[in-house]
Amino acid sequence: MKLQLPTPRESAICAAVLLIWLAVTALFIGFRPEHVLLAALIFALFFACGPTRRLVVALLPFIVFGISYDWMNICPNYQVNPVDTEGLYNAEKSLFGISVAEGMRLTPNEFFALHRSTIMDFAAGIFYLCWVPLPIAFGLWLYFTGRRIPYLHFALVFLLVNLLGFAFYYIHPAAPPWYVAIHGMEAVPGTRGEVAGLGAFDAMTGLGIFDALYARNSNVFAALPSLHSAYTLVALIYALRSRSGAIWTAVLAIVTAGIWLTAVYTSHHYIIDVLAGISCALLGFAIFEYVLMKIPAFARFIGRYAAYISENI
């Protein structure tokens, strides 16, 4: 039986990383209860025993994703580049607009806002609740069923897709459809997040889930690309590559298509945003599998990473 305690080097790295994360967060963002809870959970799992320590290391791509998303609050993208409101709206109307009367053309979001469906309102809420939990559940299934290498590739591509999307948020800040519908074409920094069409699900269920989620969104100008549209697509790609079975493939395919439709139906994204999110997912996958994995040093690193999280499998 191998010693379950981490090595001094592992202990020092874990402590240093946690302290740096907490210090930067406290200094530039401010603590929230979940910061303390997550730090305590990571610390406890890392030092508890070998299996839980390997789980923490395996989950690092998802942890880095969460921290990166949070740290975008340090410097909002609208402080870096001008926000696109009118240009994106006009492009959507030009490419995908729906003619409803002589000389009148609506974006698909505007059309759906006038044609609501109770069934779609409920389904939209269910689909959008899956956007992060379902890919993480799929990743954990890969991990705990011993498919450590497919898991690691999936988790790292998930992170890479996020980083690509976050980078584009700063290159081209963009307002979502609901913002234009409510506030017009002028971008106002610090505008509160809005549930938009997802409010129907909250009203129907009385749960207030989306109101709580979007009320905490401090930057609404991150609509292009739609990462909602990318996450389950990445999971679907790796479900197919790892031959994870018909159930996972079917569930991920249905939810992915449902999220794409929901993003437009609820006015959270334009079709352009959705297509950009799909492209981001495919680009991240291609970069990782066909560029990075062809670099010997990177491939060796991935091999060591996979070996570490696979010990005593």
| pLDDT at site 229 | 96
pLDDT band at 29 (very low <50, low <70, confident <90, very high): confident
| Nearby residues of 55 by Cβ (< 8 Å), 6 or more positions away | 45, 143, 309
Cβ atoms of 155 and 62 closer than 8 Å: yes
pLDDT tens per residue, range 193-225:
889 999 999 999 988 888 888 866 767 899 999
Span 217-234, average pLDDT:
92
| pLDDT at site 1 | 41
Gap between the Cα atoms of 142 and 154, Å rounded: 9
Q: Cis before residue 108, ω within 30 degrees of 0? A: no
CB atoms within 10 A of CB 226: 28
**Token pair 């929230």: residue:** 32
pTM of the model: 0.93
Judged by phi (left if over 0) then psi (alpha if -120 to 50, else beta), residue 7 lies in beta
Q: Measure the CA dihedral 83/86/90/91, to 10°.
A: -10
pLDDT tens per residue, range 123-174:
999 999 999 999 999 999 999 999 999 999 999 999 999 999 999 999 999 9
Judged by phi (left if over 0) then psi (alpha if -120 to 50, else beta), residue 206 lies in left
| pLDDT at site 240 | 97
Query: What does each C-alpha distance from 64 to 17, 35, 43, 77 come to in angstroms?
Result: 11, 13, 15, 19
